[in-house]
Structure 1
Amino acid sequence: MSGIIFPEDFKRVVEETEVVHPDSEHNLMISPEALENALIATFRKIAELAKYETLAIGLSGGLDSSILTTIAVKSAGLTIIPVTIFSSLDHPDLLHAVALIKHLKLWLNQLGQFDSTRREDKYELLCIAMKKANLKHLILGDAVDELQGGYWQHEYPEKHLPLAFLPMDELRKAVFEDMWKKLIPDHLAILDKFARQYDIDVYLPYLALSQLLSKVPMFQRIFYTTRKSLLRHLAVNLGIPNEIINRPKLGLGDALRTQF
């Protein structure tokens, strides 16, 4: 077994998810605690699927992966090996990944570092790093940006879809739906391909919670100019350092772009 194995049949999960669920329009807030509990339960399922073997997590030092790492270690009690990719020792991905590791009191040598000199896909680099470290099970935060408004297109929908005749709430919903349609071809299909090629089992906890996250009210996703507001509140509750919570969005793989 290899590729994206959790959630099972990820393509069907994406296809059946209304990224802006009708329930989200009722403005029924989802608490950070509810999301944390859902992620804890999800991690326990992942550990069982992995037969309690060592789990690695793609850690960019950003909000999404820092939340996953913190909950896995502090709340779910799992042993996690962070894996990151970078092109220079002063890149924010590496600096913030190390900051989180120190904050969680993990061993620094648990950080799997991979420095590329070739123009390869970020997912392939992660899989190569996994193979070199003899790791089989990889947790990633993919799909959360699409679900919670993590891209600039969500914040400025009028610049992405110039449909001036639509009210802002409908325009923003259209942008969420447009970005959701791109999730498989632009991200997950590529990830699944390389994971299969390198015999890596991939687990996507945020995608597994798509039915919950799709019901998050819009104001908990985009609050004025703050993206992923619910996740930021959760990060504060978890005690994640402010330097990580407030860092500009880069995304896993940005660390490779500076060298080309």
Structure 2
Amino acid sequence: MEVLIAATPEEAAQFAAEAVLEGLQTRTEGHNVLGVATGSTPLGLYGELAKAVKNGEADFSNTIAFALDEYVGLESTHKQSYRQTLIQELCKVIGLPEANLNTPNGFGDSEEQIRKQAAAYDAAIVAAGVDVQILGIGTNGHIGFNEPGSSLRSRSRIKRLSNKTREDNARFFDGIDQVPTHSVTQGLGTILEARRVVLIATGSNKAEAIATALEGPLSSACPGSAVQLHPDAVIVLDEAAAAGLKNRLYYDDSAAGLQFGI
């Protein structure tokens, strides 16, 4: 696990974009496959990827993307669906074709249908093989919509949203009563199969979740702690999000890299 601590959210976005682009270079054949997240934190990262495209340093026109999650009960055309959010905040920003954006289908006539759709989505992710999965983290430690108590080996499935998550997301709706109660989310086991994960967190409201995820016990009580299991996890923080870390000095020393002649 590599922990990079930036001075500002803007610098954190730069560090995260570099980690994403480096990870995408590992594929030797076929299309790059990028796992994408919604929320406010990744927006700066997507902006940095757009700059790389503009400068001729990246091209996402042939990239395949898989979203982490989607609300149950919202059609893909709904303005608050994560598909529509990603079209606006990702596809139109970095030049990823809408046709190449895969999102879970949380809309159906029955729970059984939605469960089958989640299983098919998981199978498509496995078949494609994700090169880099971008992650955020919730204030309660969730990644994707894997709320506290989620199995560390879980697969894509229907998941009940916690009250805290619904409260946090109510700003995007006309009140908490309009926020769906369930989602379809990639499972923690699914997420951990990506070749690289890049988790970005900024702001003091994420400090407790980050400290617990990175330095606390591996536990379903903090789903974000699952990143401890990944062989190539890059964690990018700003100073505020890193405020609760006890091993800060070690992370800074490690980020300096191997030095010879000492």
* Same fold, judged at TM 0.5 (above): no
TM-score (norm 2): 0.44
Give the structure with the higher percent strand. 2
Give the structure with the higher percent helix. 1
TM-score (norm 1): 0.44
